[in-house]
Amino acid sequence: MAPKKQVQTVTNYGIGQYMNKQRAAEAVERLRTYIEGHDFALNDRIPPERLLCVELGLTRAALRTAMSVLEDEGRVWRQVGRGTYIGARSVLNLTEVRYLSGITTPEEIADARLIIEPELARLAAQNGVSSDHRELRRCYRRCAEATDWRVFEAWDNRFHNAIATATRNKLLMTVFETLNAVRRSNVWQTQRTESGPSRSYPTLDEHKDICQAILNKKPEDAANAMRAHLESVRKRLILRSAGM
């Protein structure tokens, strides 16, 4: 009889794990649907946990699990004692981001990126270590797996941030973070006609070229690959602005 009890215990444990995953997935979907159904702008604060628990019919633990998933996707960010906000976490004061975003055009952002980011890629190929390489591979993979624009843009942001981190130059990282915060603010306002990036989306192959050059420690190739990527982004931006 003892072996049967053990089998029963293991079976119950497996069912419990399955049910926990199901409940977590349901909580994520409820929170995602709630956010998508409201006209939140970038960095808007969403209602506090106690109200969301009532609104969504979730326990505090389930809601926090869902928040963690959406935070990982770059859909929300949290600040202890202040609340949860829409979008990915900014490294700058929100007032500064709004000001810079308001006086900067997408074309100016593209120009600034072309000046700065190829050199960041060059330094990343020179100075990056194994932990940087793991993060870069992870970001590239998650970009390729993304099926909607918000998830893709969150991991695209992390991909470029991983390159800046791999330079091991804190001053350049701060310069990049300023540029990237403004870039993200502009990207959030972009209206997409498709639900998500297709498998043939040019950025995926461009990211692959950048990633391989950095992992292979080829600085010149990394800089050239980044420059080609940003020129491609700029071209698509111009076509989109022209309604083409």
All CATH 1.20.120.530 domain ranges in the chain, comma separated? 94-241
> Which regions of 64-201 does DSSP assign to beta strands (E)?
76-79, 83-86
CATH 1.20.120.530 fits 94-241, yes or no: yes
Residue 177: per-residue pLDDT: 82
Residue 19: per-residue pLDDT: 59
Residue type at 151? V
Residue 2: per-residue pLDDT: 52
Cα atoms found within 13 Å of the Cα of residue 88, Cβ hemisphere only? 24
What is the spatial distance between Cα 144 and Cα 80, in angstroms, rounded to a whole number?
32
Residue 191: per-residue pLDDT: 57
Residue 77: per-residue pLDDT: 85
Those residues with Cβ within 8 angstroms of residue 70's Cβ, 6 or more apart along the chain or in another chain: 28, 31, 32, 35, 76
Residue 150: per-residue pLDDT: 81
Residue 115: per-residue pLDDT: 96
Q: How far is CA 85 from CA 11, 150, 186, in A?
A: 40, 15, 17
Residue 184: per-residue pLDDT: 78
Residue 67: per-residue pLDDT: 93
Closest CA to 143 of 185, 206, 193: 206
What is the spatial distance between Cα 167 and Cα 80, in angstroms, rounded to a whole number?
30
Is residue 186 within 8 A of residue 174, CB to CB? The reply is: no
All CATH 1.10.10.10 domain ranges in the chain, comma separated? 2-86
What is the spatial distance between Cα 107 and Cα 98, in angstroms, rounded to a whole number?
17
76 bridge partner residues: 86
Closest CA to 128 of 187, 168, 76: 168
Provide the residue-wise pLDDT of the chain in tens; the chain has 244 residues: 555 555 555 455 565 565 578 888 999 999 988 987 887 766 789 999 999 999 999 999 999 999 998 887 767 888 878 899 987 666 666 678 788 888 888 889 999 999 999 999 999 999 999 988 988 998 899 899 988 888 888 889 889 988 998 998 988 988 888 888 888 777 655 556 567 788 788 999 999 999 999 999 999 999 999 999 999 988 887 776 666 5
Residues found in the chain: 244
- What are the structure tokens assigned to 212, written together? 């391989």
Residue type at 105? T
Counting beta carbons within 10 angstroms of the beta carbon of residue 7, is it exposed (0 to 12), middle (13 to 18) or buried (19 or more)? exposed
Q: Give the CATH number of domain 2-86; options: 3.30.1540.10, 1.20.1260.10, 1.10.10.10, 3.20.20.70.
A: 1.10.10.10
